[in-house]
Chain A
């Protein structure tokens, strides 16, 4: 089993090698690789091929020979026969014997793979057999050399370095070329070097020549460059030892051509790579990827070891080069055309690119990155200087160690860059890109921040990056909330102005700005608030996109929008009062933000010392306290020193305890408030938000003041209540009684001219300034609804022309609601009026005349007096009902809600709030006047009663005898039903406690009902 599994494992390994060799996919996790592996396995394991038949193979060999002969490729044919024969009789690595099945299967494989052998030019290469010998010679020398040194006078020779073997000078018979490193020459190389320096043989020049050769770098980048000479010490030949070992153990191991390096060269190339140089030898750039050359070798490390280190470096180098490329692209230094990812929104032509407004957020980000890279390059420079100075040994690992904090930061930056910039799909609008970048940075800060002190450096770096990157945003916000002008040419801010809505338009407040949310799709923009959706529009919209917008602005977004819009509105209101803030003296939001961040961080650093002194102070005070206690004890005639000492000790202990306790606190404080900007959000809250908040209060307060003072906002609100809600009782009384009288006299009142004249007369007398704003309209309504007399008034609409900018608050939607209430009020007033104007004499007189005429007939049923009395009673009941309804609506609802509303309006901070208050007020009165759909059955019952009232008064007017006694019965029972229904419903509602305002109506109706 074990054997089987090992065999299986080897097979697996070989298969993987095969695949990676043929597909050149190195990553075994790659999906394609796995697919290939599966395919290969299924073929190997479940193939349905015949086993190799050696006769068939032999026949094929002969066939090919014949074919070559036919093609008169004599030499080829001869080679073919000879080579196959030779191969079949040679040993294979793991197979015993010759001419085995394996031999034949290998030949069969080649035959299967062969691709028209007769059509290719082939000439046999003479096979070299000298490699073995040469290597042997070398290795004897190497090993001898190693033993020599080990047993020699310098057993403690340090590891090889460039300036190491100066002292071995005299011992070494071989000449040295480069700063005293021994020469390891193959004869061939020797020859080459001799070729190079044939002419310089003079004594005087040879010195300088030697100096030059010592100080010049061998041109390792040229193929087949001479190997630099190096020590023969065992330590510095690890590569060769290992190579030889591989060669000895694996018959299939192929020695490859390698380029040899010194470690210094590798270090230098590494430093260059980090500083953004692209043309390097060890590291190669292929479309943005940095790869390590395969044939790079240092003598004292094995290939794999060096590679694993270099791959690591290459990964960092790739990050650096990617960031560098991004910087170049944004600053416009790049000579290459931009990649599709970054510039696809604009066309690739540079002329157009330059005409596009600059994308300031990326620019700011790049500026921050650039600053970081400057410091990083300084560090690289110092390292390179150290390498040049040769004062101390600089090894690759020491360089990496030294750079490790920087490299960690670069990895982090690269990660942020990848998520925030590179992963953004092409064609994304700037606003998404900008806010995505800011969000990524913000998230990264919070993420690293939560790790605590371990990532202080990272957080500090990210924070500075963020502070730089956020600058354009804050400047846009600043410009907007201070000057009321949203200056954002590259369209990167999350809020954008809709150009088609002028400032002095009614929809300005709602439709002017679009808030872009950063989410998956590009189309996911939403209107900040929709005028049609009424009061709750803004809130709904903002709650649904919580996760998508720039998160750091979220807590103050509303304020920013409010302040910005208010400021813009204010600018357009051309009011003289708002003095322009002096631009020269005013600090921009960004400066303010920076200042407060600085003071906060400074405070954070200072605070520990403060607390320490405070502690000392408390200690002193406690000691003082002790003496005071002692004195107190003395005052109380207790001269007990022991007690005093005990007290003192007690205090001291407490003091100690306190001290320990507070020391812990201090440490806590330090970690939470130092430069790490722990509690990043707190920092923002204390440094950024207050400034915005202050500006917001200022702007909105200004706007509210202006609107109230210069634009008589409150006056208009009052006017709406006056006319629509009939608060100006006398004025409106004149108006509606005129209509009611007309109806009473059965004349047509539905003429626009008549109505308007009445209205103007009524209003013009008392409030002449409003008379030209008010007008009345008649809407045509379908005749089906006109059946009931109470619906006669339907279609009567009052309109009040509200000037800009007050119409932002009082929109036409508001007027619609006002009109609904207005209509209800008119209906109640009408019922009340028609009941009030009934005269008893009408009935009694008519009754008397009738009594004389038709006494005989009517006595049969009921005495007339009794009928009249019933009419009187019904009238009183109806009056009670109508009056209680009237009272309820006019006083209990409209008046008290109006008072509440006025109070809230006074306290409203910004325009949005004011609009909301107004809408809330309207919806409240709408609700309470039972106009809501949900309680329409109540309203219907009320309407029925009002209708009844109108019919009743109609009949009353018509006089006794114009109706039958049954109709009184009918009216009585109808009224009773409706009344009962209403009382039950209202009582239920009141008992449930859900509508406290209904209580008075329910009570008064009930009172009327009980008396029935």
Chain B
């Protein structure tokens, strides 16, 4: 069971934990799942600046969408 692959897997998992800590420290608001998506995207060569701007925009848009939905359902 303890193949090199799984050892690597554990190492990666630890890396992710570290990364989550960093993310928390920086108050990025990313959770584990979004963090792993981001890591995968970065690995695929997406520019981090572009990615960060996309994430910010998505957050903004989804907030406003929710706000408008709330507004209509209350009104």
Name A's B-contacting residues (CB within 8 A).
7, 10-11, 14-15, 17-19, 21-25, 32, 36, 39-40, 43-44, 47, 49-52, 64, 76, 79-80, 83-84, 86-87, 90-95, 102, 105-117, 119-120, 122, 124-125, 127, 129, 132, 136, 248, 251-252, 254, 287
> Is the beta-carbon distance between A47 and B58 smaller than 8 angstroms?
no
Centre residue among A11, A111, A251 by max chain B CB count within 10 A: A251
Range class of the B interface residue count: 35 or more
Tell me which residues from 17 to 75 in chain B have a Cβ below 8 Å from any Cβ of chain A.
17-19, 21-30, 32-34, 36-44, 46-59, 61-62, 65, 73
> Is the beta-carbon distance between A21 and B50 smaller than 8 angstroms?
no
Bound-complex Cα distance A114 to B32 (A): 16
> Is the beta-carbon distance between B12 and A251 smaller than 8 angstroms?
yes
Q: Closest residue to A93 on the B side, CB-wise?
A: B12
B52 to chain A, nearest CB (A): 3
Query: Could you say which residues of chain A place their CB within 8 Å of the CB of B29?
Result: 113, 115
Query: Could you say which residues of chain B place their CB within 8 Å of the CB of A76?
Result: 25
> Is the beta-carbon distance between B33 and A40 smaller than 8 angstroms?
no
Which one of A49, A114, A116 lies within 8 Å of B50 (CB-CB)? Answer: A49
> Is the beta-carbon distance between B22 and A44 smaller than 8 angstroms?
no
Which one of A7, A10, A116, A252 lies within 8 Å of B39 (CB-CB)? Answer: A252
Bound-complex Cα distance A110 to B26 (A): 7
Name B's A-contacting residues (CB within 8 A).
1, 6, 8-19, 21-30, 32-34, 36-44, 46-59, 61-62, 65, 73
Given contacts A15-B41, A21-B33, A108-B49, 7 further A-B contacts (CB under 8 A): A22-B55, A49-B47, A102-B42, A115-B27, A115-B29, A248-B9, A251-B13
> Is the beta-carbon distance between B44 and A32 smaller than 8 angstroms?
no
Query: Could you say which residues of chain A place their CB within 8 Å of the CB of B33?
Result: 21, 254
> Is the beta-carbon distance between B48 and A112 smaller than 8 angstroms?
yes
Query: Could you say which residues of chain B place their CB within 8 Å of the CB of A114?
Result: 26-28
Bound-complex Cα distance A32 to B58 (A): 11
> Is the beta-carbon distance between B6 and A105 smaller than 8 angstroms?
no
Bound-complex Cα distance A83 to B24 (A): 11
> Is the beta-carbon distance between A122 and B25 smaller than 8 angstroms?
yes
Q: Closest residue to A249 on the B side, CB-wise?
A: B9
Bound-complex Cα distance A298 to B54 (A): 37
> Is the beta-carbon distance between A90 and B14 smaller than 8 angstroms?
yes
> Is the beta-carbon distance between B1 and A40 smaller than 8 angstroms?
no
Q: Closest residue to A116 on the B side, CB-wise?
A: B27
Bound-complex Cα distance A79 to B25 (A): 9
Query: Could you say which residues of chain B place their CB within 8 Å of the CB of A43?
Result: 50-51, 53-54
Query: Could you say which residues of chain A place their CB within 8 Å of the CB of B43?
Result: 92-95, 102
B41 to chain A, nearest CB (A): 5
Which one of A18, A112, A122 lies within 8 Å of B34 (CB-CB)? Answer: A18
Query: Could you say which residues of chain A place their CB within 8 Å of the CB of B59?
Result: 22
Contact A19-B52, Cβ < 8 Å, known A14-B41, A92-B15, A114-B26: no
Bound-complex Cα distance A571 to B57 (A): 73
> Is the beta-carbon distance between B44 and A11 smaller than 8 angstroms?
yes
A248 to chain B, nearest CB (A): 7
B54 to chain A, nearest CB (A): 5
Which one of B10, B30, B49 lies within 8 Å of A132 (CB-CB)? Answer: B10
Bound-complex Cα distance A49 to B47 (A): 7
> Is the beta-carbon distance between B48 and A106 smaller than 8 angstroms?
yes
Q: Closest residue to B5 on the A side, CB-wise?
A: A248
Query: Could you say which residues of chain B place their CB within 8 Å of the CB of A94?
Result: 40, 43
Contact A52-B48, Cβ < 8 Å, known A32-B65, A91-B8, A117-B27: yes
> Is the beta-carbon distance between A51 and B47 smaller than 8 angstroms?
yes
Which one of A11, A87, A251 lies within 8 Å of B22 (CB-CB)? Answer: A87
